[in-house]
């Protein structure tokens, strides 16, 4: 393929490289700057010193195995830890997006246009990486899991799902959908990886301390009622649009039923398409897009920074519909959804003081529009092809 056809790929690589150098330099020169990594390292130090991990409802929220993981970073100089963590998060994110495209899951995007996906992901993602968030790492692992399923690398797929779930519970939804598609190959592998990760802390610390931290973690997670958060801390999801802004009389029980129904609907779609012999890559593409939107609109913990999980899907939809011969409504919807997420990222970076409910609603509205684009079927094969 000629260099002209790969121009977008070259431009994307150069821009990502330049921005990452600046971000890593900032992290190394100013490691004491308060970021999400600060909270992670607090949990890591508490683990090392056998202190309680869960003392603040807005503090360290991850299970004990992740506290052990960040304990490793506390043994390094602060600047080294700040740079290394961001390199790991950004590297996993970019590698995941790269292998997802190379696996042919989104085969409607030709090789020469893959750079457009990376270019679109840059402004949607770099704030998370700069802030030391774990979300880019989780998003990268999710993409790696989907790509591995496309390559039938089942053990890699299970490990990726397991590690992502160890950080935050919602990637398990993707793992369960992958198990629906290939139950024999994945169910026992995913269960084994999760069991190993859950048991590992007992081999790394005093068993009494670990069991106490598990009890505290489960207690704090079960007591975390996000339906009644203050408006400034409310999850930015469908509940936010319907109840917080729309003042609709939707009860938490009804909303939770909608969450379950949404996930069940995706699972039924995956099962039926797989049973009917649809190409595995088409099923994986639709599954990835649908579950990405579900995690943000109906997931258990959608914050402003969590929308980086949707960034790759948004770029894939926008570029996929734009490069399709007949984009139609899907093209308009895909680009509009991406544009709203881009506007939200710009607000978050350039005008962080604008936090009125209307401004914060940009992200869930963008997710809804992207869902419409996916259902229309321009970017993937959500809709059955005519026989």
**From first to last of its 387 residues, what are the pLDDT tens digits of the chain?**
455 568 889 999 999 999 999 999 999 999 999 999 999 999 999 999 999 999 876 789 999 999 999 999 999 999 999 999 999 999 999 999 999 999 999 988 988 889 999 999 999 999 999 999 999 999 999 999 999 999 999 999 999 999 999 999 999 999 999 999 999 999 999 999 999 999 999 999 999 999 999 999 999 888 888 888 888 888 899 999 999 999 999 999 999 999 999 999 999 999 999 999 999 999 999 999 999 999 999 988 788 889 999 999 999 999 988 766 556 888 899 999 999 999 999 988 877 777 888 888 999 999 999 999 999 874 454 444 443
Residue 382 lies in a domain: no
- How many Å is the Cα radius of gyration of the chain? 21
| Degrees to nearest 5, angle at CA 338 with 281 and 132 | 90
Please give the span between the terminal C-alpha atoms of the chain, in angstroms, as a whole number.
Answer: 34
- Domain extent for 79: 7-376
Instruction: Residue count of the chain, please give it.
Output: 387
Helix (H) or strand (E) holding 233: none
Give 203: exposed, middle or buried? Use CB within 10 Å, 0-12, 13-18, 19+.
exposed
CB atoms within 10 A of CB 168: 21
**Pairwise CA distance, residues 23 & 45, whole Å:** 25
User: What are the CB-based long-range contacts (under 8 Å, 24+) for 225-233?
Assistant: 226/300, 226/301, 227/252, 227/255, 231/357, 232/355
Handedness of CA 330, 235, 53, 190 (dihedral sign): negative
Q: What is this structure's pTM?
A: 0.94
CB atoms within 10 A of CB 322: 18
Give the DSSP letter of residue 386: P
Phi-psi region of 277 (alpha: psi -120 to 50; beta: other; left: phi over 0): left
Residue 86 lies in a domain: yes
Helix (H) or strand (E) holding 169: none
Q: Give yes or no for a contact between 347 and 354, defined as CB atoms under 8 angstroms apart.
A: yes
The two tokens of residue 316 are 């894939």
* Total number of domains constituting the chain: 1
Residue 299 lies in a domain: yes
Q: Give yes or no for a contact between 364 and 310, defined as CB atoms under 8 angstroms apart.
A: no
Q: b vs e for 332-368, b when ≥16 Cβ sit within 10 Å of the residue's Cβ? A: bbbbbbbebbbebbebbeeeeeeeeeeebbbbbbbbb
Give me the chain's average pLDDT, please.
Answer: 91
Residue 386 lies in a domain: no
Helix (H) or strand (E) holding 379: none
Residue 191 lies in a domain: yes
């Amino acid at each position: 393929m000629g260099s002209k056809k790969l121009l977008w790929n070259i431009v994307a690589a150069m821009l990502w490289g330049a921005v990452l150098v600046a971000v890593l330099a900032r992290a190394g020169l100013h490691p004491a700057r308060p970021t999400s990594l600060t909270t992670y390292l607090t949990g890591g130090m508490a683990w090392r010193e056998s202190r309680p991990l869960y003392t603040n409802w807005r503090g360290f929220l991850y299970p004990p195995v992740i506290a052990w993981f960040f304990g490793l970073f506390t043994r390094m100089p602060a600047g080294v830890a700040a740079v290394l963590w961001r390199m790991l998060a950004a590297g996993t994110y970019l590698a995941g997006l790269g292998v997802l495209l190379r696996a042919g899951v989104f085969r409607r995007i030709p090789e020469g246009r893959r750079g457009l996906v990376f270019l679109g992901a840059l402004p949607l993602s770099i704030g998370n990486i700069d802030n030391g968030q774990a979300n880019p790492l989780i998003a990268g692992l999710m993409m790696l899991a989907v790509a591995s399923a496309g390559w039938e690398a089942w053990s890699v797929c299970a490990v990726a799902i397991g590690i992502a779930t160890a950080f935050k519970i919602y990637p398990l939804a993707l793992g369960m959908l992958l198990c629906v598609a290939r139950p024999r190959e994945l169910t026992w592998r995913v269960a084994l990886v999760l069991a190993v990760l859950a048991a590992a802390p007992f081999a790394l610390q005093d068993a009494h301390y670990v069991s106490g931290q598990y009890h505290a973690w489960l207690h704090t997670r079960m007591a975390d009622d996000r339906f009644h958060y203050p408006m400034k801390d409310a999850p930015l999801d469908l509940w936010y649009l319907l109840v917080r802004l729309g003042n609709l009389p939707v009860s938490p029980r009804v909303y939770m039923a909608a969450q379950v129904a949404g996930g069940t609907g995706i699972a039924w779609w995956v099962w039926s398409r797989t049973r009917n012999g649809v190409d595995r890559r088409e099923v994986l593409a639709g599954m990835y897009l649908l579950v990405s939107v579900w995690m943000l609109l109906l997931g258990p913990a959608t914050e402003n920074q969590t929308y980086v999980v949707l960034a790759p899907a948004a770029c894939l939809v926008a570029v996929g519909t734009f490069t399709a011969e007949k984009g139609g409504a899907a093209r308009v919807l895909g680009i509009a959804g991406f544009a709203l997420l881009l506007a939200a990222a710009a607000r978050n970076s350039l005008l962080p003081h604008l936090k009125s409910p209307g401004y914060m609603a940009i992200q869930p509205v963008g997710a809804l529009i992207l869902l419409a684009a996916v259902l229309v079927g321009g970017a993937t094969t959500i809709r059955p092809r005519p026989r």
